Amino acid sequence: MSYLATLTRTRIQLALRNKMFFFFSVVFPLGMFFLYAGIFARGNPRAVLYFLGPAIAFNVMGSFWGLSATLVMFREQGILRRFHVTPVTAADMLASSLLANFVLTLPTISVELFLARVIFHVPSLGDLLSLAVLVTVGTVSFGSLGLVVASITNTMQETQVLNQLIWLPLIFMSGATLPIPYLPKAAQSVALFLPATYLVTGLQNAVYSAFPIWKLLVQVFSLTCWAVLTFFLSAQLFRWEPESKIPRKAKLWVLATALPFFLLGIWENSHGRILMQAQAAYRSLDQPAKTEQAPKAEQPKGDSPSMGKLPKSNKNAQPQH
């Protein structure tokens, strides 16, 4: 346990010196938060709350990029070789990387929640227990994906190419960039096969719809299974030396980590409720404006500017004589 604590502290210190890790863990998530809140939501508190889940998801998912690039750089620079001469195992090294990444992710998420509450005046932050569980499981699962990428790539250039190939579908097809109901129907079906979809929808349901944790078991269980598979595989393929290579056939095992979401995607396309929940949340964005206008229409003030927005039941009413 002392090895894990020492490695975690060291990994945090090294990560803070890494510009790429700092960008994907702090700068990029906060930039996406202000993009959503200021442009997409236009400062509307309820709309900001709707986009807060995807903004937090960007922060959580960005951990895979930072971890993969950092570990490959450590291996190329011979830093991992120095750790190898100490009595630590590959599992210790990878677990400390995930723990350090989790510790560094929490402050940015806390800042986003604080800004949403104080500056944009969101009505609430949803179910905090569900939010905490999904942030924890999501950070570990996507961090483990980064460990797998670092294990199967040999150079920083190769890592960046593979990260791009993984990153683009995750952010554009999962509802992180555009709401899932806004996507074409074919894209919605494909989205149900992506792990990011379950993170985004889970966080959105926890924050915007205030779902308790028992209503998010599909998202939590699928991400947990994926985290276990990816961490186990990364520990098997981990390399301390830059000269050591892994067989090409071993890279095929990476595809096996997608099996839970392949099966889950088939089920959700046929019987699931993930899309229905996403569509219901998207449609509810218009409901507060309608409910707020109804009481104003009942006020007997003839000079009120809201009189032009009377309910349908009053529009056709005959004047009383």
Range with the largest mean pLDDT of 51-60, 81-90, 247-256: 51-60
pLDDT value at residue 1 = 58
DSSP 153: -
Residue with tokens 């009189």: 307
Kindly report the pTM of this predicted structure.
Answer: 0.84
- What's CA 139's distance to the chain center, in Å? 8
Q: Provide mean pLDDT across the span 284-289.
A: 69
pLDDT, tens digit, 9 for 90 and up, residues 253-285:
777 888 889 999 999 998 878 999 999 988 888
pLDDT value at residue 288 = 52
Q: Provide mean pLDDT across the span 180-207.
A: 93
Mean model confidence pLDDT for the chain: 82
Answer whether residue 160 shows pLDDT above 50.
yes
Q: Which of 82-96, 125-139, 195-209, 226-240 has the lowest mean pLDDT?
A: 82-96
For 139, residues 6+ apart whose C-beta sits below 8 A from its C-beta are: 60, 63, 98, 101, 102, 105
pLDDT value at residue 64 = 83
- Percentage with pLDDT > 70 across the chain: 87
Higher-confidence residue of 57 and 315: namely 57
| Spatial distance between the Cα atoms of 293 and 312, rounded to a whole number of angstroms | 12
pLDDT value at residue 240 = 85
Instruction: Tell me which amino acid residue 259 is.
Output: L
pLDDT value at residue 142 = 94
- Percentage with pLDDT > 90 across the chain: 35
Name the band, by pLDDT with cuts 50, 70 and 90, for residue 2.
low
Answer whether residue 85 shows pLDDT above 80.
no
DSSP 309: G
CB atoms closer than 10 angstroms to residue 12: 15
Answer whether residue 131 shows pLDDT above 50.
yes
194 near 261, Cβ under 8 Å? yes
